[in-house]
Amino acid sequence: MLALAMSLPNEPEPRPKEQRSLFGEILDWMLAPLLLLWPMSVALTWLVAQNVASRPFDRDLAELARTVARQVVIAPGSADQATVIRLRLPEVVAEVLRTDDAEKVYFQLLGARGEFIAGERDLPVPDEPAGPAQALKYRDDEVHADAVRVAYLWLPGTGKPGETAPLVQVAETLDKRSRLATEIIKGVIVPQFVVLPLAVLLVWFALARGIKPLNELQQRIRRREANDLSPIAERDVPEEVAPLVGAINDLLGRLDQSMSAQKHFLADAAHQLKTPLAGLRMQAELAQREIDAGEHDPQALKRSLQQIAHASERAAHMVNQLLAMARAEAKILARPPEPVDLAELARETVRDFVPRAMDKRIDLGYEGPDPQQPAAGRRQMLGQPTLVRELVRNLVDNALQYTPVGGTVTARVMDDPFGQVVVLQVEDTGPGIAEAERALVLQPFYRALGTNVDGSGLGLAIVSEIVQQHGAELAIADARPRGSAAAQGMGPGALITVRFALSRASGEVAGPVSATPGATAGGPG
């Protein structure tokens, strides 16, 4: 086994998720597009600069082409003679074309039959056919391996067979255009190298200033005392953060209520425990005084010991009830919910209370599905078996406490006629619960007036909490009409009903029955 373990590769531990910075994330989302758009801006600026730089030079080149065209003389001959085309004052034309020493300027004149007449012989001829006369056009080409811009136009033709329109072309190298485009690019791009870092700095400063209220809010919360759960002032925070502050205030309000309830519960629990503990101390001191005084009455000592046992039993019962209340209030349990056979659980719980019922001469019974029926055929609920058992125990214990000698307590489990819930009922023949007190008995340590029963006041509070945990429905009613019960000289009794939703395994319903506030059952506790 050791060799196998050593041969296995060590699995890398998962890295904890890094905490993200809101400031850094916003800064990234703002600067990333800016840095991506900057090269696009440079490219667009270059294209625009090339276009802008070409326009004035194209106009000058067009004027040169028209000047050369005006110096062309066309002499149409007779019908059987070719048209004679010559360039007037070629020296003047050459001088005009040499006025710019920064660029190389070429011109070319082709005759009516495409023959070379004057200018640069190596200047390429356009591929397109002759267009309208005097219509100036432009193209990019090469002369002696130099890139040139060419302006060309066709002169009016004679219309003789075999002749075309004479062609005039003027070409210019691109040095001046490139220099002008470069100057434009420098004039636009260089300031951007200054503006871009400034823009980044301003964005950083704006974000820092915008997030400053969050830092102030953080400091205000950190400076608070641990017991200060008062709401945070929403008027001092930005509008975008107000919903978050509102949610925090809601959480603080719920925490304040929860802590207040816990403090109240602990105070009540301490007060309730004082009585049995004081009784224990008093009986112990009484027995000690009797022994110190030399009195050895066995009956008196027995009564003191009985009182001590009774007080310790009350204290133990209350501690158990407090522990059950703490378990019921826990939102996260160690075991996940599972299908629960409510009938079997209720039958076992009732069986545990049989000796106590016999001591009080109370008829304790159970009504439910046939125990011989297979468990798979019985309806099941989804929940925590431990808490459900605690619920049944508290209901039966509560009924036995408040049912007089010779009374009856019945626990029953039945199926809902519509097949959506399983119903638990505990019915007794005790004094019942007045309608005005049915909401109050669900509060911890509350006991109905006039019952004279030694209880902890926690039983039905535990039941209510477990019912809410299971999304069940709890209701209370009189077991018998109060008028007829009074006429028979007996109490109306209490009928406590709990409706649990069936589990998916029962194949009936998809979800739990929602608990209805104000419709919960009650009892003296």
Percent of the chain residues past pLDDT 90, beyond the cut? 5
Is the pLDDT higher at 514 or at 409? 409
| pLDDT over 80 at 245, yes or no | yes
- Which of these three, 265, 283, 314, is where a domain ends? 314
Cα 94 to Cα 105: distance, rounded to the nearest angstrom: 10
Q: Which residues, listed in sequence order, are joined to residue 283 by a DSSP beta bridge?
A: none
User: Residue 278 pLDDT > 60, yes or no?
Assistant: yes
Whole-number Å distance between alpha carbons of 469 and 199: 57
Question: How would residue 325 be classed by pLDDT, with cut points 50, 70 and 90?
Answer: low
Q: How far is CA 476 from CA 99, 144, 265, in A?
A: 114, 109, 24
Is 79 within the bounds of a domain?
Answer: yes
DSSP-based three-state secondary structure for 363:
strand
β-pair partners for 429: none
Query: What mean pLDDT is predicted for residues 155-178?
Result: 84
Query: In which region does residue 8 sit, left (phi positive, over 0), alpha (psi from -120 to 50) or beta (all else)?
Result: beta
Residue type for 458, please? L
If asked whether residues 204 and 85 sit together in one domain, one would say yes
Q: Which amino acid is at 292?
A: D
Q: Which two tokens stand for residue 264?
A: 């109240």
Q: Are residues 371 and 424 in the same domain?
A: yes
> What values do phi and psi take at 305, rounded to 5?
-65, -35
Residue 437 contacts residue 522 (beta carbons within 8 Å): yes
Percent of the chain at pLDDT above 70? 73
pLDDT score recorded for residue 275: 59
Q: State whether 60 and 176 are in the same domain.
A: yes
Tell me, yes or no, whether 289 and 354 share the same domain: no
Task: Give me the pLDDT at residue 1, please.
Answer: 37
- 395/522 Cα distance (integer angstroms): 10
303 alpha-carbon distance from chain centroid: 66
Task: For residues 149 and 219, state if they share a domain.
Answer: yes
3-class SS string, 89-142: CHHHHHHHHCCCCCCCEEEEEECCCCCEEEECCCCCCCCCCCCCECCCEEEEEE
Q: Where does the pLDDT of residue 5 fall: very low under 50, low under 70, confident under 90, or very high at 90 and above?
A: very low
Would you place residue 149 in the very low, low, confident or very high pLDDT band (cuts 50, 70, 90)? very high
Domain contains 522:
no
Choosing from 286, 314, 342, the residue where a domain stops is: 314
pLDDT at 512: 38
- What six digits make up the tokens of 111? 């005759």
Least confident of 196-200, 358-362, 463-467, 511-515: 511-515
Q: How many separate domains does the chain show? A: 3
| pLDDT of 511 | 40
Using DSSP's 3-state secondary structure scheme, residue 69 falls into: helix
Same domain, 69 and 149: yes
Confidence at 17, pLDDT banded by 50, 70, 90: low
**For residues 486 and 507, what is the distance between their CA atoms, to the nearest angstrom?**
45
Contact by Cβ (8 Å): 489, 363: no
SS3 232: coil
Residue 425 and residue 421: Cα distance in Å, rounded? Answer: 13
User: What are 425-460's pLDDT values in tens digits?
Assistant: 999 988 888 888 877 777 766 666 555 555 566 778
Contact yes or no for 82/112 (Cβ under 8 A): yes
For 12, other C-beta atoms within 10 Å of its C-beta total 6
Kindly give the pairing relationship between strand 105-110 and strand 167-173: antiparallel
- Residue 521: band (very low, low, confident or very high) from pLDDT cuts 50, 70, 90: very low
Sign of the C-alpha dihedral computed for residues 214, 215, 216 and 222 taken in this order: positive
β-strand pairing of 72-75 with 421-428: unpaired
Report CA Rg, the chain.
Answer: 52
Do 199 and 112 lie in one domain? The reply is: yes
Cβ–Cβ < 8 Å for 117, 110 = yes
The answer as to whether 328 is a domain residue is: no
Q: Is 338 contained in some domain?
A: yes
Which pLDDT belongs to residue 332?
A: 45
| pLDDT recorded at residue 2 | 36
28, burial (CB in 10 Å: exposed 0-12, middle 13-18, buried 19+)? exposed
Q: How far apart are CA 457 and CA 389, in angstroms?
A: 19
The pLDDT of residue 401 is above 80: yes
* pLDDT given at position 215: 81
One-letter identity of residue 33:
P
Mean pLDDT, all residues of the chain: 76
| Structure-token pair, residue 370 | 């046939």
Q: Over the stretch 327-369, which tens digit does the pLDDT of each residue have?
A: 555 554 456 778 888 888 889 888 888 888 898 899 999 988 8
Q: Is residue 322 part of a domain?
A: no
Domain range for residue 291? 243-314
Q: Is the CB of residue 420 less than 8 Å from the CB of residue 509?
A: yes
38-42, 133-137, 456-460: which range is least confident on average?
A: 456-460
SS3 520: coil
Q: Is residue 467 part of a domain?
A: yes
Whether the pLDDT of residue 18 is over 80: the answer is no
- Over residues 28-45, mean pLDDT: 78
Q: Is residue 171 very low, low, confident or very high in pLDDT (cuts 50, 70, 90)?
A: very high
User: Tell me, what's the pLDDT at 3?
Assistant: 41
Task: Give the pLDDT score at 510.
Answer: 35
Same domain, 32 and 155: yes
Phi first, then psi, for residue 110 (nearest 5°) are -110, 140
Find the length of the chain: 525
Residue 321, in any domain of the structure: no
pLDDT of residue 486 exceeding 70, the answer is no
Lowest mean pLDDT: which of 34-43, 109-118, 468-477?
A: 34-43
Instruction: Look up residue 502 and give its DSSP letter.
Output: B
Token readout for 280 is 């224990």
Domain for residue 229, yes or no?
Answer: no
Same domain, 444 and 362: yes
From the list 465, 464, 444, the residue with the least C-alpha distance to 455 is 444
Tell me the CA end-to-end span of the chain in Å, nearest whole number: 58
Tokens of 274: 């004082």
Measured between alpha carbons, how far is 342 from 349 in angstroms, rounded to an integer?
Answer: 10
Give the pLDDT confidence score for residue 53 in this predicted structure. 77
Output the domain CATH number for residue 445.
3.30.565.10
Instruction: Say whether both 288 and 185 belong to one domain.
Output: no
Query: Which residues is 151 bridged to in the sheet?
Result: 138, 170
Residues paired with residue 502 on neighbouring β-strands, in sequence order? 381
Predicted local distance difference test score (pLDDT) of residue 305: 74
Higher-confidence residue of 75 and 499: namely 499
pTM over 0.85: no
Give the pLDDT of residue 7: 42
Bridge partners (DSSP) listed for residue 415:
422
pLDDT band, very low/low/confident/very high, at 411 (cuts 50, 70, 90)? very high
Same domain, 197 and 304: no
Residue 62 corresponds to which tokens in the numbers above? 């067009």
Q: Which range, 58-62, 149-153, 224-228, 269-273, is most confident?
A: 149-153
302 and 267 in a common domain: yes
Asked if residue 396 lies in contact with residue 348, where contact means CB atoms within 8 angstroms, the answer is no
Name the more confident of 266 and 250: 250
pLDDT in tens, 193-242: 777 788 788 888 887 777 787 888 888 888 888 778 888 887 777 777 78
Most confident of 49-53, 190-194, 280-284, 393-397: 393-397
Position 8 confidence tier, pLDDT thresholds 50, 70, 90: very low
pLDDT confidence of residue 170 = 92
